[in-house]
Structure 1
Amino acid sequence: MSVISRSTLAKAALGPLAAAALIAVLAAGAIPPYQAYSVGLAAVYTVLVLSVGLLAGWAGIWSIAHPAFFAMGAYFAAYGSTHGWSLEVVVLGAMACSAAFGMFLGAAGARFSMLYVALLTLAFTMVSLEVMGQWTNVTGGDQGIAMAKLDSALGLGTLASAGTQAQYVAVGAAGIALAVAALARPSSLRMRLVAAKSHPMAARSIGIAPEAQSALAFAVSAAFAALAGVLLALVVGFVSPEPFSLALAISLIAACVLGGPGTLLGAVVGGAYLTWVPTAAENAGVPQPILQGVVLIAALLFLPGGVVVFLGRLARRLLRRPASQPPAPVEPPEESPRPVPAPEATAAELLRLDEVAVTFGGLKALEGASMSVRAGETLAIIGPNGAGKTTLMNVLSGLVGGGRVEGSAQYRGMPLLKSRATARRRLGIGRTFQHAETFPELTVLENVLCTRRRVTAHNRARAAALLERVGLAHVADRYPGELPFGLHKRLDLARALAEEPELLILDEPFGGLDASERTLLARQIVRQQQRGTAVVIIDHVLDDLFAVAHRVVAFDFGRPIGEGSPGKILEDPRVRSSYLGEGGARDELPRRDGTERAAVHLEGVDHAYGGVTALRGVDLTIAQGSVVGVVGANGAGKSTLGQILHGTLPPTRGRRAVGEELRSALVPEGRALFKTLSLRENLEVAAYAAGIKGADLRARLAETAEWLPPRLRERMGVPAAGLSGGEQQILAIARALMARPDLLIVDEPALGLSPAMVDEVYARLGRLAREGMTVVVLEQSLGRAASACHEVVVLHEGGIAVRGEPADPLFLARAEQAYFDGQDDFDGQDDAPVAVAQS
């Protein structure tokens, strides 16, 4: 059975108790009749604002359709009262009819962005109000329709309209509506709505369909809006089109923003605002639209969370100190985790993939993926960036998006690829995400509970036990944004384990964790092995990954290229080549005599994103006129180092020093071109950003165009989206050259390119170096960097593991070892200082 805490019941009782007290005041005549009417009207608007505010706050949907639902309830009541319908039929009929339309709008709008949902609901309101205006036999058209009395079919008496009795009913109904909302707040309904709003992809991975949640939220919200319409007809005693104009939709949004979307007291504030703003505008001598506009602008600028949220924060600040960061849990001392032995070769297969391929348009992200996983086995997937690993994870969890999936996959002997993502959770598949995609508006406990359709005492106890097991019990009531990164990752894992999956998919779980956190995570994986859970895990922290894996499959360019045990897989030449690249002949580079001045110097540089350490203790000097390759696996810190060298990202700690008047340019990973703009326009945008105009711009365009290959010079008016990947990379470099930089930093220039295009891109970078430009290449391929650079720096987990000149015959062997484990165990010294990363 569902569990409702005493505190929840106490909060829910406040609405009816306040309504009862207000009714007693009204009945005692303490409020003048004209003010009593306004109180009844405020109660009506409270229900209406509540319906809009909870839809926005819990489901993230801003609706302009609610004036139509409001009118639907009012006309339903007026028509029913004149045709002998009972009170119960009027209320239930109005709410059911509006809920049906709301469900349609929610299901249809779930496929679109917020803008299109607004347009859809706007169109619905316009059509609905026009139909009501023209349907004169039912609505009376512009003349309106009078409200008669309503008899109760349950023997509760007769309810007359436009009197004190109707005002009492409106106030009582508002109190009950607030109580229902208070009871729903800690329920799974609200949690799943918020989860679907916060992160649709993560919600799908735990069995929540955002489309179904949107439809449900809209249906319930529309039903409450129709109830408010019935109450309006009772309080006013007459229904005409005037109160239901589009201006009401704008006023509703303003009232929600003012009170606070998703808050119960905010609905009361919004209801009072809608009731008394006409009087306030009249007293101030200001047109009502102007006053509403000023209030809305002020609320957005100074009270973005609403009056209620602002006052709540202020009260907490005055009554107690701000909450401190949660203390780290005390972990029981245990030995380093030892994986459970691999299952026998004869063990039943839990999962089998045969020739699975995924294409996005003309891009093949995965091809010929065939593999199997036995029950209780931990399978590691490795490969360089862009190898197709995450695409494979998305295939298993049904989150491929717009990709086309071919081939076959059997899970427990049943076809897997045709099942929806939300159904795979019920099949026993759980997953985590690379960046720990949790739901920020839910507490740690709610992040786990939202995996259940109902919050029962049993489910709450199981969730609490799971949090205790993963070391999160001490932060159960905190929000994810209050947690350090390591605990954030644990929460992602806890949510994936909430329903005890048979197959657990882990996407880079070790990334960004320190040594102790990685040990704790490995311990959790071993516990799942002991429970018989099959685990598929991808990561770039190979030493920790191999410590828990039974078997390893290596991918490159979307295809499996090798399979073996953790101790043998890196001995496969194809696997080593996929990470390190082919050496080849060294390109001719300008000679250095060691007297070059420093272009950029970094000293003791650290950088962290929140709780994630990306760089630590980096000391690096880039000499003028040199070509420096910074290599490392994905997540080693290359892109962060590139941004700090460029100057766009200040280090968390340490110092960056540059030469006089150094101009630098960065070509980011993925190129970041403006795809809809032509080649010329892409270059012009860069020139405008550098302050180049007029004749200088034309001269710079001509100069840069000469650097481009002829096939691109002839297509300067073609949109960048029409270029191949290699041509886009060349254009991205040319765009950076528009500023005539002294230092050019290129992030992953070979990513996703064919070998021929890689050679062309590097040849053009070499040409720039021979012309005197300083070039830094951020690259995964050690071999490519060694053949094209004066000096190579190997990053491992944010620190410089080793650096040196590729001409040194011992350097490549040292660099290979440092690339994978960060250790430099070779004797001998190179000319550059070596800093070994601390794991």
Structure 2
Amino acid sequence: MSVVSRTNLAKAALGPLAAAVLIVVLNAGAIPPYQAYSVGLAAVYTVLVLSVNLLAGWAGIWSIAHPALFALGAYFAAYGSTHGWSLEVVVLGATGCGAALGAFLGAAGARFSMLYVALLTLAFTMVSLEVMGQWTSVTGGDQGIAMEKLDSALGLGTLASAGTQAQYIAVGVAGIALAAAALARPSALRMRLVAAKSHPMAARSIGIAPEAQSALAFAVSAAFAALAGVLLALVVGFVSPDPFSLALAISLIAACVLGGAGKVLGAVVGGAYLTWAPTAAENVGVAQPVLQGVVLIGALLFLPGGVVPFLGRLARRLRRPSAQQPPTPAAPPEEAPRSVPRPAATAPELLRLDEVAVTFGGLRALEGASMSVRAGETLAIIGPNGAGKTTLLNVLSGLVGGGRVAGSARYDGRLLLKTRATARRRLGIGRTFQHAETFGELTVMENVLCTRRRITGHNRARAVELLKSVGLAHVADRYPAELPFGLHKRLDLARALAEEPELLILDEPFGGLDAGERTLLARQIVRQQERGTAVVIIDHVLDDLFAVAHRVVALDFGRPIAEGEPGTILDDPRVRSSYLGESGVRGELPRRDGAEGAAVELHGVDHAYGGITALRGVDLTVPRGSVVGVVGANGAGKSTLGRILHGTLAPTRGRRAARGDLSTALVPEGRALFKTLSLRENLEVAAYAAGVRGAELRARLAETADWLPPRLRERMGMPAAGLSGGEQQILAIARALMARPDLLIVDEPALGLSPAMVDEVYARLGLLAREGMTVVLLEQSLGRAASACHEVVVLHEGGIAVSGEPADPTFLARAERAYFDGQDDAPVAAAQG
């Protein structure tokens, strides 16, 4: 049984209570008849605006179809009244037809972006209004159709139109509609609609189908719009095409924005605005569209959330003038787990993968993945960036998207690959995300409760206990945006645990957490192991990952390359090579002249994104004319360091010092090319950004084109999307060269490239270095960096673990250790020596 609190009931009762008071006032004659008519009309528009308002605010769908649905209800009532239909048949028929059409629009529109949904609903309105205008035998065409009385089949009497009785009915129905919306606000229906709107992929992982939610939301909204049309016919007494033009659709959107999208009281403000805007425009002597445009622009500029949210914030500020966010309590004083419970020898096999492969067009992201997990066992998946780890997790949770999946997967004896993503939650599979994809418009408690189709007292009690167990009970009524990153991660975990899954999938849960938070998370994983939950986990924080894992599978280039226990897996040369790269022959590097000084220096640099520490205490000097490699696993802070060296990101703390006339260029990870532009146009865009025009632009184009390999020079007019990955990387470097930088920073130059293309990219970077350019390479592969750089810096969890010259015979061994655990064993080695 659903739980409705007394507070919610009291709020819902306000609508009918206000309607009853207004009806009494109308009946007493306190309001003049011409104003009483406007009150009835405002009630009609309140129901109509409510239907659009909640659809936009809760489901994220802005509809232009509602004038047609509004007209449907009105014509249904007028036609029915002239053909002896009862009041009940009219109401049920109008709302039923509206709901059916709304469900169709919602289901069809769910496949498209907001722009295409707007075009779809616009086309629906244009066609519907044209049909209504031409179907003269039913609608009366341009002449309209008069509304007559409606008899109740249930013996409730006769309802006459265009009178005080119709006005009372409209006010009463508006009050009931507001009450229904207020009761729906704390319900699972609203939570699941908001979840599907906020993050469709995360919603699927907890069993919510965004397409079904869109269809349901549109169906309910359309039913309310059709009901408003029935009320309009009763209050006005006559139905013609004039009120249902496309201008009404624009006015409805303006009314929603003005009142506040998703706010129940916003519908009242919007209804009043639609009713009295014509009168206000006439009184000030301007055209109604002009007044509506001014009001809409003013609302967007000064009250972007709407009148109701603004008044709500103002009231809270007056009640709590000095209210601040309460401090976050420290994590529970728990010690790190001393031992990981082993699964019972007789524990059944819960999951088995056999030769699973995933392809995206011509890209093979996963190949030959075969592994198994028993109940109570934790399987860790490791590998460098791009190894296929997240793709594997997406296969398990059904979130591969446009990828083509082959092979076999069985979960608890069922064929998993043929099961929809939304159904896997019901099978007992829970999932977290790398970046803690929480639902921002739901509170912490609602983020957990939205996993249920209906909310009962038992569900709410279980949610409270779950939030206590992960240390979130004190922020249950807060929104995710008010929480630090560590609590975001806990909330993501709590949502995954909400229905006690048998298989828990964790995507980089330790990333971005401090030591105390990692200890808390490790204890939570051990608790799940103790209750028999199987866990599949990936992470780049190997120490914490291995502390909770029973077995480890290593991936590289989408294929499993090794399997073993946490204490021995890194001893496998294939695993070390996948992370560190092969130590190739050092290429020819330019001689460095120490007298030339530094190109850029960092002193005590820290940087944080919200609650995530990306860099800490970084001191780094990049000498002029040198090639410096910054090496580390994914998440070590390389990209952040590159942006700070480039100068486009200011450090949270510390100082960047650069030579006064230093010119820098950054080639970002993933290349960030303009794929639809040609090679030449990509280069020209970079030149324009650097302020280069005319003859200088032509000279630089020719100079840069000479640097490109012949096969690219011959295709300068083709789109960049037609190049291979390696060719795109070379083009991205060439685009950076258009600024003639003194310092070139290249982020992951070898990512996703074949060995032959890696060699070519590095050869061209070496050529730039020999021509005198200072180069910083941000790399995962220690071996590649060691073969191409004068100096290598190893980052580990945002700090410099070790730095040195690859020519030093002891450096590579020290760097390998620091790469994985952040420790530099040079002092130990020196003491032993």
TM-score by structure 1 length? 0.98
CA distance in 1, matches of 2:683, 2:206: 45
Aligned to 1:435: 435
Distance of aligned partners of 1:829 and 1:699 in 2 relative to their CA distance in 1, 3 Å threshold: farther
Aligned to 1:836: none
Q: CA deviation at 1:829?
A: 9.4
Q: CA deviation at 1:158?
A: 1.0
Q: Which shows bigger deviation, 299-308 or 593-602? A: 593-602
Aligned to 2:676: 676
Between the two proteins, what is the percent identity of the paired residues? 88
Aligned to 1:833: none
CA distance in 1, matches of 2:685, 2:196: 38
Aligned to 2:245: 245
CA distance in 2, matches of 1:610, 1:813: 35
1:184 matches 2:180: no
Counterpart residue type for residue 222 of structure 1: A
Secondary structure of the corresponding residue to residue 554 of structure 2? strand
Aligned to 1:340: 340
Aligned to 1:135: 135
Aligned to 2:276: 276
CA distance in 1, matches of 2:252, 2:536: 49
Q: CA deviation at 1:345?
A: 5.2
1:412 matches 2:407: no
List runs of 5+ in structure 1 lacking aligned partners.
831-839
Aligned to 2:89: 89
CA distance in 2, matches of 1:367, 1:646: 37
Counterpart residue type for residue 691 of structure 2: G
Secondary structure of the corresponding residue to residue 186 of structure 1? coil
CA distance in 2, matches of 1:569, 1:91: 69
Aligned to 2:122: 122
Secondary structure of the corresponding residue to residue 594 of structure 2? coil
Q: Which shows bigger deviation, 157-166 or 205-214? A: 157-166
Aligned to 1:221: 221
Q: CA deviation at 1:596?
A: 2.7
Aligned to 2:528: 528
Secondary structure of the corresponding residue to residue 826 of structure 2? coil
Secondary structure of the corresponding residue to residue 359 of structure 1? strand
Aligned to 1:694: 694
CA distance in 1, matches of 2:732, 2:345: 50
Distance of aligned partners of 1:599 and 1:362 in 2 relative to their CA distance in 1, 3 Å threshold: same
Task: Check conservation: 2:340, 2:547, Cα contact below 8 A.
Answer: no
Q: CA deviation at 1:210?
A: 0.1
Counterpart residue type for residue 605 of structure 2: V
Aligned to 1:708: 708
Q: CA deviation at 1:315?
A: 1.6
Q: Which shows bigger deviation, 564-573 or 278-287? A: 278-287
Aligned to 1:453: 453
Aligned to 2:375: 375
Q: Which shows bigger deviation, 302-311 or 430-439? A: 302-311
1:596 matches 2:596: yes
Task: Check conservation: 1:329, 1:472, Cα contact below 8 A.
Answer: no
CA distance in 2, matches of 1:756, 1:774: 24
**5 Å matches for 1:736-751?**
736-751=736-751
Aligned to 1:474: 474
Q: Which shows bigger deviation, 281-290 or 497-506? A: 281-290
Secondary structure of the corresponding residue to residue 543 of structure 1? helix
Task: Check conservation: 2:334, 2:519, Cα contact below 8 A.
Answer: no
Q: CA deviation at 1:826?
A: 2.5
Q: CA deviation at 1:313?
A: 0.9
Question: Could you give the per-residue CA deviations for residues 516-569 of structure 1, whole angstroms, max 9, x where no partner exists?
Answer: 110110010001001100000000000000000000000000000000000000
Aligned to 1:148: 148
Q: CA deviation at 1:137?
A: 1.1
Counterpart residue type for residue 104 of structure 1: F
Question: Could you give the per-residue CA deviations for residues 559-615 of structure 1, whole angstroms, max 9, x where no partner exists?
Answer: 000000000000000000000001111011111243231111111111000100000
Counterpart residue type for residue 151 of structure 2: D
Aligned to 2:69: 69
**How many equivalent residue pairs?**
830
CA distance in 1, matches of 2:472, 2:337: 20
CA distance in 1, matches of 2:450, 2:326: 23
CA distance in 2, matches of 1:528, 1:283: 69
Aligned to 1:617: 617
Aligned to 1:543: 543
1:315 matches 2:305: no
Task: Check conservation: 2:341, 2:526, Cα contact below 8 A.
Answer: no
Task: Check conservation: 1:511, 1:540, Cα contact below 8 A.
Answer: yes
CA distance in 2, matches of 1:185, 1:622: 57
Q: CA deviation at 1:456?
A: 0.7
Q: CA deviation at 1:344?
A: 4.6
List runs of 5+ in structure 2 lacking aligned partners.
none
Aligned to 2:770: 770
Q: CA deviation at 1:342?
A: 2.6
Task: Check conservation: 1:326, 1:483, Cα contact below 8 A.
Answer: no
Task: Check conservation: 2:335, 2:519, Cα contact below 8 A.
Answer: no
Aligned to 2:79: 79
Secondary structure of the corresponding residue to residue 309 of structure 1? helix
**5 Å matches for 1:23-38?**
23-38=23-38
Task: Check conservation: 1:339, 1:549, Cα contact below 8 A.
Answer: no
Secondary structure of the corresponding residue to residue 673 of structure 1? coil
Q: CA deviation at 1:404?
A: 0.5
Task: Check conservation: 2:378, 2:536, Cα contact below 8 A.
Answer: yes
Task: Check conservation: 1:388, 1:556, Cα contact below 8 A.
Answer: yes
CA distance in 2, matches of 1:239, 1:597: 84
Secondary structure of the corresponding residue to residue 513 of structure 1? coil
Aligned to 1:632: 632
Counterpart residue type for residue 486 of structure 1: G
Q: CA deviation at 1:319?
A: 1.9
CA distance in 2, matches of 1:383, 1:323: 46
Q: CA deviation at 1:462?
A: 0.6
Secondary structure of the corresponding residue to residue 347 of structure 2? coil
Q: Which shows bigger deviation, 338-347 or 615-624? A: 338-347
**5 Å matches for 1:548-567?**
548-567=548-567
Aligned to 2:663: 663
Counterpart residue type for residue 122 of structure 2: L
Q: CA deviation at 1:327?
A: 2.6
Counterpart residue type for residue 711 of structure 1: R
Question: Could you give the per-residue CA deviations for residues 141-177 of structure 1, whole angstroms, max 9, x where no partner exists?
Answer: 1111100111111211111100011001000110000
Counterpart residue type for residue 354 of structure 1: D
Secondary structure of the corresponding residue to residue 827 of structure 1? helix
CA distance in 2, matches of 1:547, 1:412: 27
1:489 matches 2:494: no
Aligned to 1:569: 569
CA distance in 2, matches of 1:265, 1:354: 55
Question: Could you give the per-residue CA deviations for residues 43-94 of structure 1, whole angstroms, max 9, x where no partner exists?
Answer: 0000000000000000000000000110000001011111111111111110
Q: CA deviation at 1:332?
A: 4.0
CA distance in 1, matches of 2:75, 2:341: 71
Question: Could you give the per-residue CA deviations for residues 385-425 of structure 1, whole angstroms, max 9, x where no partner exists?
Answer: 00000000000000000000011101111100011000000
CA distance in 2, matches of 1:422, 1:292: 43
Aligned to 2:302: 302
Q: CA deviation at 1:29?
A: 0.6
Counterpart residue type for residue 316 of structure 2: R
Counterpart residue type for residue 386 of structure 1: G
CA distance in 1, matches of 2:338, 2:526: 7
Secondary structure of the corresponding residue to residue 629 of structure 1? strand
Distance of aligned partners of 1:322 and 1:93 in 2 relative to their CA distance in 1, 3 Å threshold: farther
Q: CA deviation at 1:335?
A: 2.7
Q: CA deviation at 1:328?
A: 2.6
Secondary structure of the corresponding residue to residue 621 of structure 2? strand
Secondary structure of the corresponding residue to residue 739 of structure 2? coil
CA distance in 1, matches of 2:593, 2:72: 84
Counterpart residue type for residue 814 of structure 2: R
Distance of aligned partners of 1:730 and 1:639 in 2 relative to their CA distance in 1, 3 Å threshold: same
TM-score by structure 2 length? 0.99
